[in-house]
Structures are given as C-alpha cells and as structure tokens.
Amino acid sequence: MAELAMSRSIRIKGPASVSGIADVPGDKSISHRVAILASLANGPSQIRGFSSSVDCGTTLSCIENLGVRITRHPQELIIHGVGLRRYRPAREPVKLDAGNSGTTIRILSGVLAAQAFTSELDGDASLRRRPMGRIIEPLGLMGARIETREGKRAPLNISGGPLHAISYSSPVASAQVKSCVLFAGLHADGTTTVSEPAQSRNHSELMLREFGARIEFGEGGLVSRIAGGVEFLPLEYHVPGDLSSAAFLIAAVLITSGSHVLIRGVNLNPTRAAFLDVLNSIGAGIVRQNERIHHGELVGDLEVSSGRLQHVGRPTPVAGDIIPNLIDEIPILAVIGAHVEGGLEVRGAKELRIKESDRIRTIVDGMRALGADIEEFDDGFAVPGPQVLSGGNVDSAGDHRIAMAFTVAGLAASGATAISGAECAEVSFPEFYTMINTLTGGKAIS
C-alpha cells in the first residue's frame, strides 16, 4: 500500500510570535462520517467545508471504489448516495486502501460487513500495526466473517452479509469502535445497543439523527441504540472547522509572547473539547464567541491571546474520563505543559501507544530532542514547567500530530528546530505549514 514520502524536512527559527485570523480545515472525524452516511442515503447529499486532509480523501476514494459517484466542486462535494446495502464495486473482492486512517478502516468495516460481497481493506505500515480485534469481535458477533493474515490486524478480508442486532459492551472508550457497531447496526435485523466505559466523541450519533436514522442516546450517555433497516434521505451538511487542527494554532499563541489569533467556525462539541477545559484550568486567554448549534454540533470562534500559564494545584493533571475527549490533543498538550508553571502530567492514556505512532514514545523522544525534561510512564508522562526549550532535531515518525506538535514547540524554542518527515502533516492538516508561515509573517519556517 502507498506510503507517504518521508523526505521533507522543515526548519523552524524560534522564538517567533503568531498573529492573524485563521480558518482551519473541516473536522476530520465529521468529514469521514458525513462521507460514509451520505453514501448510504437515498440520493445526493451536498457537503460544504469537507476536510482537505489526506485521511478524508482516502475515505472518499474507498467510497468511489464501492460504486458511489462523487462530484467535486471548488466549494462543495456532491455524494450520490445509493442506499443501504447497495454498494456496487466494479470487481470482487473489492480492494480498498485506507492509507494511514484508522477511522476509515474501522468505521467503513461496519458498513462492509453488511454488503453482499467480499472486501479487502488494507493500509500503510502504521495502520497495519494497529489493533483491529476491537472491531472484529463485535462484527463477528453480528454475523460477519473477517479474516486477517497476521494477528488481528490489517489487511482485513470481510465477507459481508445479513447482520443480527447485538448488545455490545465495548472494553475501550473508542468512537471508532462505537461508530463501527452503530454503522453496522444501521443494517442489522433489530435494535443494536453499544455501550462504552467512558464517553467518546458522539459525532456519529448526532449525525445519524440528522440524517433521519432511528437512534437514541443520552446527554453524557455511555449507551447508544440504533434501529436497523431504516432507509434515510440525503442532507445538505456544512462541516465545521477541526478543533484538533486548531489546537496547534492555539498552542502556538499560548507558548509564544505577543501572539493573538482568531480561529473561526470551529467544532466545540463537548465530547471533543476537553483540551479547552484543560487550557481554561491553566488560565489560558481563550474567548469563545459566536457560539451556535449546527446539525446538532456546537460551533464557535476562538480568540486566543498569549499570557501567563499557571496551575494552582501543580502539576496540571490530565487523566480519567476526559482522556477520550482530548486524546488527539495530547502531543500538543505535552508541548504546552513545558510552558506551564507547575508543568503537566498525563495518566491513563495507554491508548496513545497504538495511535499513528506509539505517541507516548514519540512525545517523550521529541521533547527530549528539543532539550526538555520529561518523565515517561506506561500510560502517560510528566513534564515539568516552565522550561525554555533549546530546539533540536525531531523525527515525525510519520505521525502528523507529532510533526505539528514539535513544529509549534520550535516556535517557542531559543534556537533552531528541524522536523524530518514533516510532510505527514497533510494526513490531517495540509495547510498547516503555509498557515504557520503566514501567521509568523513569513519569518519562522523554511
């Protein structure tokens, strides 16, 4: 399967400040889901603000290979939905490449498990290392046959067919697992229930309801129920900006002096926004404006200013049930933590070890490479603060969030920083380097 080229090295000259107005790409999690649900609706959905990320482009290509027509216009996508269980791939078994995207492979598997054909889903070297037993188990209970070559990892060979409704208690708080079961449940012969140990992001539930699926879920709820076999209509959908991408810009402002940025139209769904709660607890200057509900999702603008970061009961604790609600922001939280009086400690985040890289390892390696003091735990790390980073050389390990987190760290460092394999930022945020370049007045990045 295609690997991202690992050649581009980015140099950052710190210290620099950032200022201006920024529009981040459309939310990646929401874009994957809207693409898949639109493909299952009866008729064409019009989607604006779709993520420019390579990951979401991968989901679109998979859907096209399943026989769904997609028309691309400069400002919108039209996805010509075919209805439930009516994908028509040109050949069988259909071979699909999920690239680097865990969300694509795990959520799409739930839909492929219900189709009357065989699919082979594969991905890049990073995706092939990630655990798939967490979706193979519930889909197997629903009646799907999924074979793997080595352990429970990609490539997945899915022999789809009629599915039975199940009641599934997921051992992990994972929105990918929950969404996989819900999307499979949409095709099953009764009501499927899925529960999780802590609440993960609820974009699938909110969107399924918008499309007209019969779904029940509570506020702050750990249980969702979906009725199978209910066909639904297409939708006009506007994807809000991605808070997980905005997080890098927010951090750039907070850790450099004299910085100020307005980020417009960002998704602020509480099951995704615990990053902002942690920043609030350290006195970060973030003002939420223009908040509104769109398609059930909370959206708003964020005005961010630099200033003193301090936690009273030190170090700032990041642990417990909020972990799933900021899991993707932990690499950049490590960088911020080094700039907080009292530092920051993350615990209970072992899931980080099975992301696009072993993120506990790559965070610790990156921080040390830039001259920071950090202690590694099996399930997290502790970073003392405040520290002035010296700069240095960091390898992205092909992980987009690692490349971006340490680029931001470089903006606050006293010396130069180089990130190798920096182009992997395109996995979620292709405009990242151009945007940082603009916000630093063209002075910091080469």
- 358 catalytic? Reply is no
Residue 442: partners with Cβ closer than 8 Å, 6 or more residues away: none
Asked if residue 170 binds ligand S3P (CB under 6 A), the reply is: no
Short-list 318, 338, 326, 332, CA closest to 275: 326
Site for ligand S3P in 335-364 (CB under 6 A): 351
Residue 70: partners with Cβ closer than 8 Å, 6 or more residues away: 60, 63, 64, 77, 78, 79, 80
If the CB atoms of residues 16 and 105 are measured against ligand S3P, the closer one turns out to be: 105
If the CB atoms of residues 124 and 328 are measured against ligand S3P, the closer one turns out to be: 328
**Smallest gap, in angstroms, from Cβ of residue 442 to ligand S3P?**
31
Choose the binding region for ligand S3P from 74-82, 175-183, 374-382, 409-417 (rule: CB under 6 A). 175-183
Asked if residue 59 binds ligand S3P (CB under 6 A), the reply is: no
Asked if residue 266 binds ligand S3P (CB under 6 A), the reply is: no
Choose the binding region for ligand S3P from 4-12, 168-176, 290-298, 334-342 (rule: CB under 6 A). 168-176
If the CB atoms of residues 346 and 439 are measured against ligand S3P, the closer one turns out to be: 346
| CA distance readout (Å), 201 to 217, 223, 353 | 12, 12, 19
Catalytic residue among 328, 365, 395, 399: 328
Tokens representing 386 are 């405040």
Asked if residue 328 binds ligand S3P (CB under 6 A), the reply is: yes
Distance, CA of 35 to CA of 38 (rounded, Å): 5
Choose the binding region for ligand S3P from 62-70, 173-181, 258-266, 390-398 (rule: CB under 6 A). 173-181
Choose the binding region for ligand S3P from 14-22, 79-87, 171-179, 341-349 (rule: CB under 6 A). 171-179
Minimal CB distance residue for ligand S3P: 29
109, amino acid identity: S
| CA distance readout (Å), 162 to 111, 187, 395, 415 | 11, 8, 46, 60
Choose the binding region for ligand S3P from 169-177, 227-235, 273-281, 315-323 (rule: CB under 6 A). 169-177
Short-list 47, 50, 25, 29, CA closest to 38: 47
Asked if residue 29 binds ligand S3P (CB under 6 A), the reply is: yes
Q: Using CB atoms within 10 Å of the CB of residue 98, give its burial: 0 to 12 exposed, 13 to 18 middle, 19+ buried.
A: buried
Site for ligand S3P in 246-265 (CB under 6 A): none
Per CB under 6 A, the list member of 53, 176, 245, 396 interacting with ligand S3P is: 176
Per-residue binder mask for ligand S3P (CB under 6 A), 198-237, x = binder? --xx------------------------------------
**Smallest gap, in angstroms, from Cβ of residue 65 to ligand S3P?**
21
Asked if residue 101 binds ligand S3P (CB under 6 A), the reply is: no
- Cβ(364)–Cβ(405) under 8 Å? no
Asked if residue 154 binds ligand S3P (CB under 6 A), the reply is: no
Per CB under 6 A, the list member of 47, 56, 142, 175 interacting with ligand S3P is: 175
Per CB under 6 A, the list member of 213, 246, 261, 327 interacting with ligand S3P is: 327
**Smallest gap, in angstroms, from Cβ of residue 125 to ligand S3P?**
18
Q: What is the CA radius of gyration of the chain?
A: 21
Short-list 174, 230, 242, 247, CA closest to 42: 230
Short-list 128, 121, 86, CA closest to 105: 121
Asked if residue 440 binds ligand S3P (CB under 6 A), the reply is: no
Number of residues forming the site for ligand S3P (CB under 6 A)? 11
Please count the residues of the chain: 446
- In degrees, to the nearest 5, what angle opens at C-alpha 234 toward C-alphas 230 and 236? 140
> Backbone phi, then psi, for 151, in 5-degree steps?
60, -170
Sign of CA dihedral 359, 362, 365, 369: negative
Asked if residue 174 binds ligand S3P (CB under 6 A), the reply is: yes
If the CB atoms of residues 200 and 396 are measured against ligand S3P, the closer one turns out to be: 200
Choose the binding region for ligand S3P from 44-52, 170-178, 219-227, 413-421 (rule: CB under 6 A). 170-178
Asked if residue 126 binds ligand S3P (CB under 6 A), the reply is: no
If the CB atoms of residues 312 and 319 are measured against ligand S3P, the closer one turns out to be: 319
Residues involved in catalysis: 328
Binding site for ligand S3P (CB under 6 A): 29, 103, 174-176, 179, 200-201, 327-328, 351
